[in-house]
Amino acid sequence: MCNRFALPASPEELAEHFGLSETEALVRRYNVAPGEEILVVRADGQGRLLQRAWWGLRPRGQDRPLLNIRSETLLSHGRPRQGGRPERVLVPAGGFFEWRHVGRARQPFYFKLKDSPLLGLAALCEGGGTAAEGARCCALLTTEPNPLVAEVHDRMPAILARGAYARWLDAGTDLLDVLDLLQPFAAEAMTGYPVSTLVNRSGVEDPRAIEPARQQTLF
């Protein structure tokens, strides 16, 4: 499960990383929580767009929003629903948080890539983002953890390599043909470290939330 991430990036960094023609003025985020507005990258046939969505799908008959979808069950969520299929999108992030129980306490850890300030999380969206079509809502896809994340948690978000963005976003590519992209990201390309418990409280936006709590990393 992934229920917190950070996006401490500038509009220029987002545009360069995801191949966007334009971006709006953005606020750097250090503690994005479920139910909040997030950014998504989607393809419209002429390029890639950066748009806003709400984190949490609301399936019919389910009271609680669906924040994460296990990639192993993706096909059951990818069937036509309410007149169409969920749209494959990317959620930009600088890194994500997971928690490990230490006695009675929960110690947060922050995971990110070693060689890039940004990563793209695979996600599904529904809704058109207009009043007539309903607000666009999203759920992140998760997969088995790599050895680095497994030290802390038994799931991790599905991170896509930059070279796989086009395949994932291509609406003309069948879902069955992109399932191979939803694999644990290479542990050697990532780093993870304990951070301040500031992130335990939703609504707290502080750059210290992604800084190492101690001078140590998992690997």
Q: Are 56 and 35 in contact (CB under 8 A)?
A: yes
CATH code: domain 5-95+117-187 is 3.90.1680.10
* 108-117, 151-160, 210-219: least confidently modelled range: 210-219
**pLDDT mean over 49-63:** 86
Q: Which two tokens stand for residue 24?
A: 């709006």
Are 23 and 14 contacting, i.e. CB atoms less than 8 angstroms apart? yes
Percent residues over pLDDT 70 in the chain: 89
Query: What are 94-137's pLDDT values in tens digits?
Result: 999 999 988 888 899 999 999 999 999 999 999 865 544 567 89
Report whether 40 contacts 52 (CB < 8 A).
yes
Could you give the percent of the chain with pLDDT greater than 90? 69
Q: CA angle at residue 123 from 195 to 158, to 5 degrees?
A: 55
Whether the Cβ atoms of residue 165 and residue 122 lie closer than 8 Å to each other = no
> Which residues, other chains included, contact 207 with Cβ-Cβ below 8 Å and sequence gap of 6+?
8, 28, 30
Q: What is the pLDDT of residues 108-119, one digit of tens each?
A: 999 999 999 999
**161, amino acid identity:** A
Residue 85: pLDDT band with limits 50, 70, 90: confident
On the question of pLDDT at 217 being above 70, the answer is: no
Output the DSSP codes for 17-82: HHT-S-------EEEE-TTSEEEEEEE-SSSEEEEEEEE-B--TT-SS-B-EEEGGGHHHHSS-BT
CA gap 208, 216 in Å, rounded: 16
Would the pTM of this model clear 0.85, i.e. be above it?
Answer: yes
Contact in structure between 92 and 9 (CB atoms under 8 Å): yes
Torsion (CA) 113, 117, 122, 123 in degrees, nearest 10: 140
pLDDT band at 148 (very low <50, low <70, confident <90, very high): very high
Q: 25 or 212, which is more confident?
A: 212
